[in-house]
Amino acid sequence: MMLSTDIWVAALIRRVELGGGFAVVVRKGDARAGAVLVKVLDRRDGSARLYAEATRGDGEQVWMQPKGSIDEPDLDAYIERAARFDPDVWVVEIDDKEGRHFLTEPVEQG
């Protein structure tokens, strides 16, 4: 049984808070089955990274970086396009002094 998106997002935000970071939902999508984009701001160097859910060929759920850029305006433009394509998408923004994403699922490095 999979968690609904709203519960999963709440758990992510709680992990961030417990880890000393700050997280906020900047776009709320479908509570039950909306896709999630996670934008991470790294205050050490001013960079940003974006993570999206993906499914590997073997069916494993992973997180990947759909946009290779680390410039926040590029990532924001990607998010805007994604929201036009999928109005149910959630966007969670994490601000962490160490640039951590706090995702517990596998993350593929791009």
Q: Tokens standing for 89?
A: 């998408």
Q: Is the pLDDT of residue 1 over 70?
A: no
CA distance 108 to 85: 24
pLDDT given for residue 110 in this prediction: 61
CATH number, domain 23-96: 3.40.1530.20
User: What pLDDT, on a 0 to 100 scale, did the predictor assign at position 23?
Assistant: 98
Contact 5, 90 (CB under 8 A): yes
Helix, strand or coil, per DSSP, at residue 84: helix
Mean pLDDT of 79-96: 96
